[in-house]
Amino acid sequence: MDKEITIYDIARELSISPTTVSRGLNNHPAVKKDTRQKIFDAASQMGYRTNAFASNLRKKRTNTIGVIVPRLNSSFQSSVMAGMEKVANEAGYNLIISQSLETVQKEIANAKTMFDNRVDGLLVSIAYDTENTDHFEPFFSKGIPLLFYDRVPEHKNCTSIVIDNIKAAYTATTHLVEQGCTNIIHISGNLKVNVYKDRLKGFKYALMDNDIPFTKASVITTDLSEEAGIKAAQQILKMSPLPDGIFVSNDNCAVSCIKTLKQAGISIPDDMAIVGFNNDPITRIIEPNLTTIDYPGYEMGEVAVRSLINYLDGASDVTITNTITLRSELVVRESTRKTAKAEKPSIAS
């Protein structure tokens, strides 16, 4: 645990000033090439390592970006993280990641930690039960850029990166209608969360535009877990008449739903066509392969960090563009490709 080498040590060794050493190490243009080389040589030879804290303390900048995510171990979120890390790393930023585990309390605590650690910016996908953004107030008032992605708060006009969930859900539902479905159920998530709320909206609009009645019974609200899929399927099996189309707000739940329905002897897509959401890897493993909405997680992560860094670098001088909407698209697979007989007459009587 030998003593740490500092720029003073290097300065003394080379009989120059610490300032010059600092400049040299940071590739300041006003340092003679020769001197710079000497500095680098001495540094590596003496085993010097920069002290980020001293530097941060002085510069009041940390080169660190905080991320608060509901949970890390989901296919979607881990893709987002991967995209974020890649861009951040390339730009020389560190990523401090923390999970809210879907609770506001932890989200509040994490926000405070991030604030105290003086992250240069913060990226957040909010928890299920986050109903306001009070705990981010310190960031707003200190002018620390805060960017929400995917799960974003309502009302507040925060900067956010999203996909058009209404449109995506509308497309998915319309697709079911086009396949001949006339009795469609939507399995939704927590309606306090913007993404699920919007998907329900898109679902509703699509029904309306196709003159299919929307009733309370058209929606099953769940937590979209695997178990929820099983329960929802059981509930659906008790319906009479049975629906002929199901739009589920995420793939995970859709898949377990399919498994349960299949076990009950339902043929998919012929008896019921099903659409999921996310384009998780599992959609191409379940039989039949699941039609879903492709949802660009990795890209969302890249865009989020890139926007934040652009802002920090002063590139986007005005307040950041308010909302960035990424493209999403329907991926049609077997779970909705009805066979011949499915070519029903149009529902418009």
Q: Which residues bind DNA (CB under 7 A)?
A: 4, 6-8, 15-20, 22-23, 25-26, 30-32, 34-35, 48, 50-51, 54-55, 57-60
DSSP state of 214: -
Which one of 39, 81, 187, 246 is in contact with a copy of itself (CB under 8 A)?
A: 81
64/130 with CB nearer a copy of itself: 64
Calpha distance 223→225 (Å, rounded): 5
DSSP state of 294: E
Decide: 284 and 251 in contact? Cβ < 8 Å: no
Does residue number 75 form part of the binding site for a copy of itself (CB under 8 A)? yes
Closest CA to 100 of 89, 109, 113, 112: 109
Which one of 20, 22, 77, 249 is in contact with a copy of itself (CB under 8 A)?
A: 77
Which one of 23, 31, 85, 172 is in contact with a copy of itself (CB under 8 A)?
A: 85
| Stretch of residues binding a copy of itself (CB under 8 A), selected from 26-34, 137-145, 172-180, 201-209 | 137-145
E strands within 49-126? Answer: 64-69, 94-99, 121-124
Does residue number 230 form part of the binding site for a copy of itself (CB under 8 A)? no
By CB under 8 A, the residues from 250 to 279 that bind a copy of itself are 252, 255, 259
If you compute the radius of gyration of the chain from its CA atoms, what whole number of angstroms results?
26
Q: Report in angstroms how near the CB of residue 110 gets to a copy of itself at its nearest.
A: 7
Q: One-letter amino acid identity for 304?
A: A
Count the neighbouring beta carbons within 10 Å of the beta carbon of residue 58.
9
Q: Report in angstroms how near the CB of residue 59 gets to a copy of itself at its nearest.
A: 10
17/45 with CB nearer DNA: 17
143/241 with CB nearer a copy of itself: 143
Does residue number 35 form part of the binding site for a copy of itself (CB under 8 A)? no
Size of the site for a copy of itself (CB under 8 A): 52
Take residue 270 and report the two structure tokens written for it: 């012929």
Count the neighbouring beta carbons within 10 Å of the beta carbon of residue 253.
28
Which residues, including other chains, have CB under 8 Å from residue 191's CB and lie 6 or more apart? 197, 200, 221
160 sits in which H/E element: strand 160-163
By CB under 8 A, the residues from 49 to 68 that bind a copy of itself are 49-54, 56-57, 62, 64
Decide: 135 and 68 in contact? Cβ < 8 Å: no
Residue written as tokens 């049975």? 242
Does residue number 99 form part of the binding site for a copy of itself (CB under 8 A)? yes
Contacts with a copy of itself by CB under 8 A lie at 1-2, 47, 49-54, 56-57, 62, 64, 71-75, 77-79, 81-82, 85-86, 89, 94-99, 101, 106, 110, 113, 115-118, 138, 142-143, 252, 255, 259, 281-282, 285-287, 298
